[in-house]
Amino acid sequence: MNRLARNSLKLSFEFFPPRTEAADEKLRGTIERLRLLRPDFFSVTYGAGGSTRDKTFETVMEIREMTGIDAAPHVSCVGSAPADLTEVIHNYKKHGFDHLVALRGDLPSGIAGGGTLRHANELVELIRRETGEHFHIEVACYPEFHPQAHSAEQDLENFRRKVEAGADSAITQYFYNADAYFRFLESCSSLGIGIPIVPGVMPITNRDQLVRFSEMCGAEIPRWILKRLYDFGDDLESIRGFGIDITIRLCTQLLDAGAPGLHIYTMNKAEASEAIWAALDLS
């Protein structure tokens, strides 16, 4: 990839806030490695109901101090009172952050949502109402459609609500079927949705974890991939080798067809992202 093409891509890495000191240390090591790949930004997830409120804040502060690279905190609205969300947003503004990923979030089953914001478009509205155009706001979208969506059409309409509320760009849920993404882009374009839609990519490194996550978030693992992953049995190295190969092919296909960037769900690890960057010559 030539330098001009690389420079026009939006490349980012997502982390979750670590829960232990050992995990903290491990994430620092990952950040030190991934900063060398010169992403446009790092993002850090936010536990629904505000469960990681402080830790998300600490993590983006640390990333910014360590790397000087843009760090975008996620904020999810379900289960949080609007007054608390307003405080969180103003606190980020006060500390010089100008990039947010705005989500609804998912509460663990059995916990009732206490907040009055039910959907991410309402959170985007709140952020715009409170802080005007200060933040660049990213939202989520779903090329294979959100698992709770009544229909593909309604899910697209609901995505449009977030864009109309003021979202600047979007990151997709992960997928392994590039056609779903391309078709999604076509549908968005015909609805007049013009913001950049960056594919979210989950490198395949751990079969059991991937299967668990995919069941929860509704991402489809194509049968042929799943079958091969199970054929490897406990041979973790082969699972990883095959998984990274599949991921690199997917990323190549996406970028060759004009995807505006890549957002990698790193699971706080560096190896897969490094392998993708090397194979695609993105550094």
Positions in the binding site for ligand FAD (CB under 6 A):
45-46, 48, 74, 76, 101, 103-106, 119-121, 140, 146, 148-149, 154-155, 158, 161-162, 171, 173, 200, 217
Q: Residue 51: what are its φ and ψ, rounded to 5°?
A: -65, -25
Q: How far is the CB of 241 from ligand FAD (least distance, A)?
A: 27
**Cβ-contact 66, 28 below 8 angstroms:** yes
Q: How far is the CB of 124 from ligand FAD (least distance, A)?
A: 9
Tokens encoding 251: 């990323």
Enumerate residues 6+ apart whose C-beta is below 8 A from 138.
43, 72, 99, 100, 101, 102, 167, 168, 169, 170, 171
Q: How far is the CB of 154 from ligand FAD (least distance, A)?
A: 6
With CA atoms as reference, report the closest residue to 104 among 54, 165, 175. Answer: 165
Helical spans, DSSP H, in the chain: 3-7, 21-34, 53-67, 82-94, 120-131, 152-165, 178-190, 207-217, 223-231, 236-256, 271-280
The SS3 of residue 93 is helix
Tokens encoding 29: 């090591």
Residue 64 or 161 having the CB closest to ligand FAD: 161
Residue 64 or 119 having the CB closest to ligand FAD: 119
Whose tokens are 């049968």? That residue is: 223
Residue 175 or 242 having the CB closest to ligand FAD: 175
Q: How far is the CB of 13 from ligand FAD (least distance, A)?
A: 12
Strand order from edge to edge, sheet including 99-103:
197-198, 169-172, 136-141, 99-103, 70-76, 41-44, 10-15, 261-265, 200-201
**Cβ-contact 171, 138 below 8 angstroms:** yes
Residue 88 or 239 having the CB closest to ligand FAD: 88
Residue 169 or 205 having the CB closest to ligand FAD: 169
Active site residues: 14
Q: How far is the CB of 170 from ligand FAD (least distance, A)?
A: 8
